[in-house]
Chain A
């Protein structure tokens, strides 16, 4: 009568107490929040892969799913880049350094960085979508020799919405071709204007069948990015997207984040494109 227990040994509902060590505005309506574990043992056990997310918990207000935007190899603190979208994110943005909150995680699938060794990589980020790709960038910088040509296309509505602009030069210096474009420029802007697909259309591909593309941003942006990549000869199995739905439990038990057959919290949020291609454009799914 007793079903066999599998998997995760800890109570998945138990959050760790973490402390804010750094909190700062990153762009209008977007802030960065770095957290450290109170319990050294929990800190020691904690590790994540690029693209995974945490549940951040403000007692009395609720829990939110936030992708991790730091360097997976830097263990001292866990970095998040958060858009103010609701009660919890707004309250979190007001907390001071030193405040304690809860953290469960990491959860979810990850970008296929390990499987990309030796290949060219194209990253396409729109707006806050750069946050879950930043751990990939960090990994690529640390292990630059293991990969081929690296291109990062960053798009934002306006120049002020660009995330981590002060880091772009360092990324370029380490051998990533960083291309930045905005939908609407202001007088301070001397860069590209237009959509990320305009840029993607023009970048050189040594061998279209070989590179891996990872994209995160608004669903419509990812859709056109993927269609363009396919049109340029990239293979469906080499395209990866990050999807978003309401997440409540993060452990596949509450049903909220279902997207067709997928639970975005445990099967996603990162999917190989061909796995979700048939449901990606179904309205209201």
Chain B
């Protein structure tokens, strides 16, 4: 990677225009519905200039900054998965003909997206979904096409929310790879790093300068500020066994008393990938689309089988989500399913904090181990 360049503040528009000229649909942060969400943008004026977000468990508020920063917020309820793994995707179609059903899959050209403002935790999330959709025995064609066509402009965090814990998950806050371009916002513009040939091609047309030592210093300080602001931690030591060896721990019951099983955490999670295919016939019934829609392990019918749900209780559904995210994901895909972005904490309507639940589980397991009433796994097994 070459030494960082400096992109003047007024040139950000130039970057957006250049990407658009190259045929990319530029999507980035914008203020809508009282939140910073990702949507199509056409100029830097669409960005959340001068806005920041205040986040706590169960709370998200926009607030005016005392400067005009473009990227002076953390992460909102959207993640880039809505573009790579869209909430509704056509996966196949069926047409009734005299000779029987003709079955097909869509062969449409994917949209070419340029993502502007991808944070380090989000780069990690994309990498995790790559493993799910591209690196198993079957490849998802929708994800594959969209992913291959996408251009990524990362943005280094210069501040953190109270819900951030990327440093515990080793996913940030610094963007180190997996981007085409990366920006660090400083006083009069941006430090610009190039991460790919495609990124080099765009950077060359932007009228950048070599960054000065002072600007590099400013960038370091800005990025360090994000690191320093991260207070939340998750102790991931032995977390797989902690959860999987204690599937009957009473702590699951405790969290189930608060969890509403509303699915918010799974929808805002940048790595959650559960879905269901729905049949969508037209009025004649002669043409049927098969639509894949985001689903959630918190929906009661998600595990429906032979007349009843396998996971009938909130306790069992929360356990499924948490053990999958933090434990069995490692067995399945070789990494944690959590990137420490904190969205599930912010957007939980009752403020359940994943990091606190891990700590509570640790404590509960210790208490159980020290308690004289502990039962061995053999005794615990119910006769059915």
Contacts and interface: CB of A to CB of B under 8 A. Distances in A.
Interface of A: 1-8, 11-17, 19, 38, 57, 59-63, 85, 99-102, 220, 244-246, 248-249, 251-256, 258, 260-261, 263, 266, 279, 281-285
Contacts of A17: 100-103
Contacts of A6: 134-137, 139
B91 A13 contact: yes
Contact of A85 (B135, B277, B295, B307): B307
Given A17-B103, A61-B279, A252 B328 contact: no
Contact of A14 (B103, B136, B303, B327): B103
A279 B134 CA distance: 28
* Interface residues of chain A: helix, strand, loop or mixed (majority): loop
B310 A263 contact: no
Contacts of B178: 1
B83 interface: no
B187 to A, nearest CB: 31
22 contacts: A2-B147, A5-B139, A17-B100, A19-B100, A57-B103, A59-B103, A62-B277, A63-B277, A99-B100, A100-B99, A101-B101, A251-B136, A251-B137, A255-B275, A256-B302, A261-B331, A261-B332, A263-B332, A281-B382, A283-B316, A283-B382, A285-B316
Contacts of B277: 62-63, 248-249, 254
A12 B143 CA distance: 13
B100 A3 contact: no
B100 A253 contact: no
Contacts of A101: 101
Given A5-B144, A17-B100, A100-B100, A248 B138 contact: no
Contacts of B63: none
A62 B288 CA distance: 10
A12 B133 CA distance: 12
Contacts of A7: 136-139
Given A60-B279, A284-B311, A246 B274 contact: no
A13 B141 contact: yes
Interface of B: 91-92, 94, 96, 99-105, 130, 132-141, 144, 147-148, 150, 152, 178, 180, 196, 198, 244, 247-248, 273-277, 279, 281, 285, 288, 290, 292, 295, 297, 302-307, 310-313, 315-316, 319-320, 323-324, 327-328, 331-332, 381-382, 384
Contacts of A252: 136-138
A263 to B, nearest CB: 7
Contacts of A5: 134, 139, 144
B288 A60 contact: yes
A283 B303 CA distance: 13
B285 to A, nearest CB: 6
Contacts of B130: 3
A102 to B, nearest CB: 5
A59 B285 CA distance: 9
B139 A12 contact: yes
A36 to B, nearest CB: 12
Contacts of A99: 100
B136 to A, nearest CB: 5
Given A5-B144, A60-B279, A253-B275, A258 B328 contact: yes
B103 A3 contact: no
A258 B303 CA distance: 9
Contacts of A246: 302-305, 310
Contacts of B331: 261
Given A7-B137, A102-B103, A256 B274 contact: yes
